Structure 1
């Protein structure tokens, strides 16, 4: 299946191998689900592919596909690929001007959109070449594509080097760039990742993935291709139903961004706070004891994360101390696993492991889920790499890293002059391998800026290679804040620490070319309401609350407790000033579809707050 040379061949092989296994489960109504088998999905894909072919969608034709997560998305994606055509996907919640730019810039000849509200974004494409998934008068619908299609449709010959998609990255300082990815690019990821997930549809209860991320995004899209290659079932959910679907659908595997795991963590901690004093103490003690037990085990087996090798005497001492800890805490550590059973049941009780990517996984989240027995396989990638570059493995899960590079993938760390650095040194991450994009569509200059003639891609990310060859992501080169004293500060670690506070949803560090650091803060409204209730103060809105003196003192104390020298932060990393923002961050504005912060957009939108913070008016 995953040894195929293109995505179409991969799916056909899987459809035949796993024909009677479930492939897609989606919600028809709040309490009603529908499941398709591989053979049924294969039949529908061929019907839709034949209908698209009949109206002119054939090899090399570009088709914009604007839709959010739904069963039809995967069908349409595969049907477009079955014609040797090229899809140009995007979610319907993207800014309208961005969608219009993509439709125009990509040179798409056909458009498939979720509903009529998106018609203005594809105005450059004739009505007769526009398909609306939901039934709309005067337009061909998805159901009509299925009903009028031929199940005997055969795809044309598709070569590994044929273009499969153009995915436009989120533009933060201008128009987005179109990343050109081939069938070979995707198949490298499929063939490398699928065996790592250890998918086995024959396991008791089957192999089920829960899909929460945007299907058009390279991370979720490739994950779903891997599920198809391995014979897994894909179950679609959304933010509103996610917590309940975790329990009800009981996934065995899934992919998610760090913000999802932070949300799950916060929900668990909120439940723990409702426990009696004795139960809270038991829970926290179990976390501590099992955490020490697991760390000792990692040291003894050489699976702890070391940036630079310590002196032999120090390593020997660590070994002796942790051998003692391992023996002492063995029974409590094993019993703690039993205590955490309700936590594992909160995510369905069958979750073998989950890929997490699309951002840095905070250390406290990594520690927590590892301790309670939920395996997170932190991965690293970017759209330009289809997207997978490296990941942790079930059998080699080194915390705080993004693991080893995938097969045939080279990684090097370079200084600002392009010199390769030895392990243990921070620098820019460069990648070379079969997953690296062809380039940016109709943007040769941008392509040359990041892709060398010999195939090395400058990721723009900062990283360190550990003593065991694992990669640690430090931040983005362009995000580094330089103070007037010459101190270089990576914002991610500080922001992640601030966001450990249950009262702070998002933190964005600012202060480039300033004497000290500042922070823009977005607060968790429900928690602030609780505070005002405790203070016996009236809460009207977050916008009005941000001027409250008590609230500002409280947040200042939160910052001081989290960012200080005892927490291993340098004096120059202290937050000297902050500003509470009056609104939440929104996807498509301050946040990308995978919940990354769009720093340039945030800096521009809240420039007046930043000026006031530093006394500039």
Structure 2
């Protein structure tokens, strides 16, 4: 039996059994509370109340019903985060339809694959450019007949789409026609909400596009409701009416789940952009209490503050650096005194208190001065009312975390994966401990087990502090991969335990710590999921490459270590009259470095179906081939953990800031 943090009585069972009912019940309770805040062309935030949003949802659902959308039908939702996205999402869910989302950064080949694979007849698009991606090869989406555009479409585009068999409908036309809904039709829609089962699929989110194994994660209404019922335990500081600044792609399950959680906890959200200058400007206007972001954004914010300080006088720089140093030392002492340090081996808490009490007392006055002179001004840049913020989608760098803690900004880590819809844990906002990804949501069971090559050796849970494979079971676990029962069976066992592919450990206080990855998928600092095998295969196609391994977990970009095909490289050098005295020095010549750069870029680019984040930014050429039992196993598969250890220095150089 896996011990849970909270008893079952802590579940909020007033939310309803599905997402439309959740919105309906919260609207009844908070009709005039702000749910959405959107910046208009003048740069002023316009607020929409719960009752206004709910009305727009039902009116849109009425229009979509007249458009022919039925229960269980798949509808594409190709757009970035905006007011209309949420309306369309809830409207589709109200009809019992299933949305299939993707963002504007997706390539045409990816969008066409997703729409075709899920057999979408109707799809929303943010603008004409997104529809153009489909029209480039419209034969790849033979079932698509209707495109709904959020932005006003161009007449030429409408005619072009019509000639290719796709009718273009303007979202605002549907919005205006929806006001014709009668009281009877309104009641009919609300009554139909009651027939939507918690186990009905709400969305299909693809975790990898056509550049990887197509995996459409089917998430149910209950998958999302489960975390909504318990979110208040970790977000205990949240109050009714609190505003969240939303900057992440809404199709990503991390941001999407929090949008539902905000409704469950009776808050609202303001739309911004993941650009530091825009985000900080919007914070000053909306004065949010909360926000989510990926590690890279927090790192950019911290770096921006340091760059700003460097432009100031020497005295100001000294003042800032001294304050941050004091803040970091004070927070370390505070962690000890107030039990904010994770224990992976049991010992009495009072020992920490004894260790930290003296430096805490000594640093209290210097920290107080730093707060008045520096930290208060820094936090004011975030709007002045922030209670806490959450970092997810990748590992938060310790240096970034310590900086925000030093200045008194409560930055908490969360953890999850799309297959668990996605939030499995978040640091407790009332008592956030560092060096972990938070308390496990009670809607799940989590255990750490022994593993070998990413697979569990046995099912027995390991004790606190023991490293192993993170396994998850519970209401948040996905329904399965769409049309891929074979892939589903590989990740979920017969007892319902999902293999996250992550390595972790549990603290003595039931917090989760992630220490590495046992599976191949790479997650960059920006939260992008990268499937390395397909990129490696593309590079391996070069006659100059014997073997390639792609790297980049928790980094800004991906890089590669390459074992060149020695015979072909030497032949190339001779054919092109490249002088060299030995093979090792040949690999370092500009001519060979440039030809490898060309070979990589020729095979990994937009035209060959790769996203920008999937392109290899740096590479290193190894002098020797990978050896059996050392870097590759008996099946000649890469032993990634061994490679990471053997080539630690080379990998560090690839991700160094130095050119």
Band of TM-score, shorter chain: 0.7 to 0.9
- SS of alignment partner, residue 407 of structure 1: coil
- Provide the rounded CA distance (Å) in 2 between the counterparts of 1:587 and 1:232: 40
TM (normalized to structure 1)? Answer: 0.77
Report the number of matched residues. Answer: 523
Residues 182-581 of structure 1 aligned to structure 2 (within 5 Å): 182-194=220-232, 196-198=234-236, 206-240=241-275, 241-309=278-346, 319-338=353-372, 339-416=374-451, 417-418=457-458, 419-479=460-520, 506=557, 508=559, 510=561
- Provide the rounded CA distance (Å) in 2 between the counterparts of 1:591 and 1:259: 21
- Describe the shift of the 1:425–1:587 C-alpha distance in structure 2 as closer, same or farther (beyond 3 A): farther
| Among 173, 177, 181, the residue aligned to 1:144 | 173
Which residue does the alignment assign to 2:218?
Answer: 180
Is the 1:361–1:400 contact (alpha carbons within 8 Å) kept by the matching residues of 2? no
- Provide the rounded CA distance (Å) in 1 between the counterparts of 2:606 and 2:464: 37
- Describe the shift of the 1:444–1:194 C-alpha distance in structure 2 as closer, same or farther (beyond 3 A): same
Q: Deviations over 1:363-386 (max 9, x none)?
A: 111111112111112110111111
- SS of alignment partner, residue 45 of structure 2: strand
Is the 1:451–1:457 contact (alpha carbons within 8 Å) kept by the matching residues of 2? yes
| Structure 1 residue runs without a partner (length 5+) | 482-488, 500-504, 514-545, 549-577
Is the 1:132–1:140 contact (alpha carbons within 8 Å) kept by the matching residues of 2? yes
Is the 1:385–1:436 contact (alpha carbons within 8 Å) kept by the matching residues of 2? yes
Give every structure 1 segment of 4 or more consecutive aligned residues whose post-TM-superposition deviation is greater than 6 Å: 489-492, 585-592
Is the 1:94–1:588 contact (alpha carbons within 8 Å) kept by the matching residues of 2? no
Structure 1 residue 9: Cα displacement: 0.4
Instruction: Identify which range, 368-377 or 146-155, moves more after superposition.
Output: 146-155
Structure 1 residue 452: Cα displacement: 1.0
- SS of alignment partner, residue 247 of structure 1: helix
- Describe the shift of the 1:295–1:588 C-alpha distance in structure 2 as closer, same or farther (beyond 3 A): farther
Structure 1 residue 278: Cα displacement: 2.5
- Provide the rounded CA distance (Å) in 1 between the counterparts of 2:436 and 2:415: 9
- Provide the rounded CA distance (Å) in 2 between the counterparts of 1:302 and 1:24: 37
Rg larger for = 2
- SS of alignment partner, residue 140 of structure 1: strand
Instruction: Identify which range, 280-289 or 246-255, moves more after superposition.
Output: 280-289
Is the 1:110–1:125 contact (alpha carbons within 8 Å) kept by the matching residues of 2? no
- Describe the shift of the 1:588–1:161 C-alpha distance in structure 2 as closer, same or farther (beyond 3 A): farther
| Among 97, 111, 133, the residue aligned to 2:150 | 133
Is the 1:95–1:588 contact (alpha carbons within 8 Å) kept by the matching residues of 2? no
- Describe the shift of the 1:317–1:118 C-alpha distance in structure 2 as closer, same or farther (beyond 3 A): closer
Instruction: Identify which range, 360-369 or 149-158, moves more after superposition.
Output: 149-158
TM (normalized to structure 2)? Answer: 0.72
- Provide the rounded CA distance (Å) in 2 between the counterparts of 1:506 and 1:163: 34
Which residue does the alignment assign to 1:612?
Answer: 621
- SS of alignment partner, residue 38 of structure 2: strand
Is the 1:98–1:175 contact (alpha carbons within 8 Å) kept by the matching residues of 2? no
Instruction: Identify which range, 116-125 or 333-342, moves more after superposition.
Output: 116-125
- Provide the rounded CA distance (Å) in 1 between the counterparts of 2:261 and 2:605: 30
- Provide the rounded CA distance (Å) in 1 between the counterparts of 2:468 and 2:563: 20
Structure 1 residue 357: Cα displacement: 0.5
Instruction: Identify which range, 430-439 or 153-162, moves more after superposition.
Output: 153-162
- Describe the shift of the 1:201–1:395 C-alpha distance in structure 2 as closer, same or farther (beyond 3 A): closer
Structure 1 residue 193: Cα displacement: 1.5
| Structure 2 residue runs without a partner (length 5+) | 1-11, 159-167, 452-456, 523-548, 565-587, 591-596, 627-659
CA-based RMSD = 3.5
- Provide the rounded CA distance (Å) in 1 between the counterparts of 2:111 and 2:344: 43
- Describe the shift of the 1:190–1:317 C-alpha distance in structure 2 as closer, same or farther (beyond 3 A): closer
- Describe the shift of the 1:163–1:316 C-alpha distance in structure 2 as closer, same or farther (beyond 3 A): closer
Is the 2:236–2:428 contact (alpha carbons within 8 Å) kept by the matching residues of 1? no
- SS of alignment partner, residue 148 of structure 1: helix
- Provide the rounded CA distance (Å) in 2 between the counterparts of 1:222 and 1:586: 32
- SS of alignment partner, residue 29 of structure 1: coil
1:121 aligns with 2:130: no
- SS of alignment partner, residue 470 of structure 2: strand
- Provide the rounded CA distance (Å) in 2 between the counterparts of 1:200 and 1:25: 18
Is the 2:232–2:238 contact (alpha carbons within 8 Å) kept by the matching residues of 1? no
- Provide the rounded CA distance (Å) in 1 between the counterparts of 2:519 and 2:325: 37
Which residue does the alignment assign to 1:520?
Answer: none
- Describe the shift of the 1:547–1:56 C-alpha distance in structure 2 as closer, same or farther (beyond 3 A): farther
1:8 aligns with 2:20: yes
Is the 2:503–2:518 contact (alpha carbons within 8 Å) kept by the matching residues of 1? yes
Is the 1:412–1:430 contact (alpha carbons within 8 Å) kept by the matching residues of 2? yes
- SS of alignment partner, residue 478 of structure 1: coil
- Provide the rounded CA distance (Å) in 1 between the counterparts of 2:318 and 2:605: 37
- Provide the rounded CA distance (Å) in 1 between the counterparts of 2:67 and 2:497: 40
Structure 1 residue 320: Cα displacement: 3.4
Which residue does the alignment assign to 1:92?
Answer: 104
